[in-house]
Chains A and B, each alone.
Chain A
Amino acid sequence: MSKFQMNRRTLIKSGTAIGAGLALPTIFTSSARAYLNEPKGGTVTLGFNVPQTGPYADEGLDELRAQELAVQHLNGEGDGGMLNTFSSKALKGNGILGKKVQFVSGDTQTKSDAARASAKSMIEKDGAIMINGGSSSGVAVAVQGLCQEAGVIFMAGLTHSNDTTGKDRKANGFRHFFNAYMSGAALAPVLAKAYGTDRRAYHLTADYTWGWTQQESIATATEAMGWETVNNVLTPLASTDFSSYIAPVLNSGADVLILNHYGGNMVNSLTNAVQFGLRDKMVNGKQFEIIVPLYSELMAAGAGANVRGVYGSMNWNWQLQDEGSKAFVKSFGEKYGRPPSNSAHTCYVQTLLYADACERAGTFDPCGVVEALEGFEFDGMGNGPTLYRADDHQCFKDVLVMKGADNPTNEYDTLEIVEVTPRAQVEYAPDHPMFAGGELGKCNSGA
């Protein structure tokens, strides 16, 4: 009998407690529902998904360094870096929403399936509330899709394909890095000025999503300047020796070679092209030129002297002299003894932007974060006034046109800034044909 009474009391008590517990979120928070991996206790976990093995491991390491630095700055350690120059002052150096920031890392291996697996593990096992980083568009598109399904925010790292914020855009995904269209829009006028408007271009293109969109972007932009596209040859991603693709360029009548290659492909194709004496050739009465539309300073170092005088574009470079860039280069340089790469920069900025959005939204709820990031205008992060456009979650900001330095003094200044292309010149409509076919869909908080 007494046993029964105990049970009844327990039932009533626990019933009340559960009822109160269920009601609590609706009483104390603005949004009614819980969300995936809601941080409990005094910490919040971010997931950094970067290539730690494979050919992009060095670039991944640089991203990871920057992400660690961002976490330090968020937790009020170090000199604060770009927190001092960031136009939004919501972050106070006491973590995010008062919670200390910690992180876990995964290895993308620059393979879509491995990247999805490591992101999934960080979300499910480690309770990561967001995923940041990466060094390939194939990976970015794959992980972005996963984050959308799972219900966490994806802050893309180095991904330059138009598709990431074009046909494959997602409500939970955000890209700070620039894209192939912007490279074309920034490069074409500089190329026309340097090499004239009467040029015949031969493209070698890496045969995957990024290569295709970059080729299309550069061809369209240069054709608008009066250039003719003589040929576009797709090269297998696994190619190492490009000699048999470069030999036909010699007698094709082209006077410009455009290498839509990245990473190891770029290092090898550029080296091969220089070996074949293309840069010493005169065609159609003009000096033959080579262009590498997307530069990475790590890969430029791999190509050595072959990048000298070759034009390309970048999202950011440590030689910029604005206050934000100087602050970031200083704290990164003092910690790691080298200047940061542009992939490090974008991952660092993305981490701060995410944290700031949580602070402004007052929640880690992905849908709150999405709302806070959409249409967000900011400055002080190294690229001038920047807009996170609501329509496609793409950042619009100044872009850099670069050139291989003639007399580099060390492995870090192999590239020099030719021009900071103003944002207005690289903007496009959200429904531009190169970005068409995608829908953001609805934000997913994983509830």
Chain B
Amino acid sequence: MHPARGFIDAGFTMDAIILQILNGLDKGSAYALIALGLTLIFGTLGVVNFAHGALFMLGSFCAVTLQKILSLSFTVEDPSQKDFLGNPLKVDTPYIVSWFGDATGNAILNWSVPLAILFAIPVMLLVGYVMERGLIKHFYKRPHADQILVTFGLAIVIQEIVKYFYGANPIPTPAPDAFRGSVDFGVLIGFAQNEIIYPYWRLVYFLFSALIISAVFAFLRFTTFGMVVRAGMADRETVGLLGINIDKRFTIMFGIAAAVAGLAGVMYAPINSPNYHMGMDFLVLSFVVVVVGGMGSLPGAVLAGFLLGILESFASMNEVKSLIPGIDQIIIYLVAIIILLTRPRGLMGRKGVMEE
């Protein structure tokens, strides 16, 4: 398409811009949630955790696993139907359907992704706890390079374990029927019908992540536990001298960060079918988000997550791509370079973080 034509017709119309803002907020939600967890871990424990993408992936597989558990079935051979080899067809009936009846059983199956939130919280807290106590704590005093290597190795191990049990193929994990399809978002904000159509589940994802982000901030701001953690982030030694067991609290924070990444993963499962390497796709981006936001700054991580999500979406527009070919592939890194050149500590970075 000729660049000029792009500006004249469909390009840069209000509806297209709003659509890309929505897309950006949606992408940004995932980036922000992952970056938030990364920053929590970095800020509290001083560890650069490259296994954080794997935690996001594990969250998605919590949804897959619950779906599998709920659809555990018993098999009855039906001689009236044949399978592909001509043997009697084995018909699977989920236990849950036979226990609760068709309607209730299928409804539970249908809502497996939202139910997986309840399943994922304890699982991810436990995973985070085991990870911190079992491996990460031995690397607190080691250089960042060691931490990166060991957590990156851990990420690969987690991936391969998941691949061993679930295979390499993506596994469809649909949203409940009530949230499938799309909503006419344009009508809600005064546009004509069918101008801005947006998928239900992506709106749910955005609202969900806004909720989680607020909950984490409120927890740190308004609870004694959060106050101690914030104090520990600012000056770990002094807090320790006051007789507070800061290590224990930091372990819990690691569990919470893992749970945040896990919940981001659970809710992401219906957007793209989970596969074992989805964590790696997000990991590098999330690090860029953290660096752009400012190492150790929680609001910075969230702000940068949404900012980069929106910029990435706009860079994928045909009109932008026709002006600067390939911009969609490099925009994130381009922005990172510009920000780091002009504001070396990132958007909201504090003095003294990673500058010893």
Contact = CB atoms under 8 A, between A and B. Distances in A.
Interface string A234-250: 00101011011101101
Interface stretch (A76-84, A99-107, A154-162, A264-272): A264-272
Contact of B199 (A277, A281, A306): A277
B355 to A, nearest CB: 32
Interface residues of B, number: 48
B212 interface: no
Size category, A interface: 35 or more
Contact of A275 (B24, B194, B201): B201
B132 interface: no
A244 B317 contact: yes
B170 A243 contact: no
A264 B313 contact: no
A56 B182 CA distance: 31
A277 B181 contact: yes
A358 B83 CA distance: 37
B202 A243 contact: yes
Given A57-B163, A305-B172, A248 B16 contact: yes
B168 A55 contact: yes
Nearest to B317: A248
Contact of B202 (A275, A298, A329): A275
A171 B199 CA distance: 50
Contacts of B110: none
Most central of A247, A330, A412 by chain B CB within 10 Å: A247
B98 interface: no
A267 B328 CA distance: 20
Nearest to B329: A236
B23 A247 contact: yes
A333 B83 CA distance: 11
A412 to B, nearest CB: 7
A133 interface: no
Nearest to B179: A275
A275 B271 contact: yes
Given A303-B172, A304-B174, A276 B318 contact: no
A368 interface: no
A240 B279 CA distance: 11
Interface in A273-327: 275-277, 280-281, 298-299, 301-306, 318-319
Most central of B10, B171, B272, B312 by chain A CB within 10 Å: B272
A268 B273 contact: yes
B182 A276 contact: yes
A268 B328 contact: no
B85 A334 contact: yes
Given A238-B281, A275-B202, A303 B273 contact: yes
A35 B327 CA distance: 50
Contacts of A248: 10, 16, 19, 317-318
B228 to A, nearest CB: 38
B351 to A, nearest CB: 35
Interface in B5-60: 10, 13, 15-16, 19-20, 23-24, 26-27
Given A57-B168, A58-B169, A243-B23, A412 B84 contact: yes
A20 interface: no
Contacts of B167: 57-58
B316 A276 contact: no
A247 B20 contact: yes
A86 B245 CA distance: 75
A241 B271 contact: yes
Contacts of B20: 244, 247
A329 B86 CA distance: 11
A41 to B, nearest CB: 37
A54 interface: yes
Nearest to A307: B172
Nearest to B201: A275
A243 B281 CA distance: 16
A264 B172 contact: no
Contacts of A409: 89
B275 to A, nearest CB: 7
Interface in B137-168: 163, 167-168
A30 interface: no
Interface of A: 53-58, 231, 233, 236, 238, 240-241, 243-245, 247-248, 250-253, 264, 267-268, 271-272, 275-277, 280-281, 298-299, 301-306, 318-319, 329-330, 333-334, 339, 409, 412-413
Given A57-B167, A241-B271, A271-B271, 17 more contacts: A53-B168, A231-B318, A241-B272, A243-B202, A244-B27, A244-B312, A247-B19, A247-B20, A271-B172, A275-B202, A277-B197, A301-B169, A302-B170, A302-B273, A304-B273, A329-B84, A413-B84
Closest 8 CB pairs of A and B: A304-B172, A277-B182, A57-B168, A244-B316, A275-B199, A302-B170, A244-B313, A247-B19
13 contacts: A54-B168, A247-B19, A248-B19, A251-B16, A253-B10, A275-B202, A276-B182, A280-B181, A302-B170, A302-B172, A303-B172, A318-B84, A333-B84
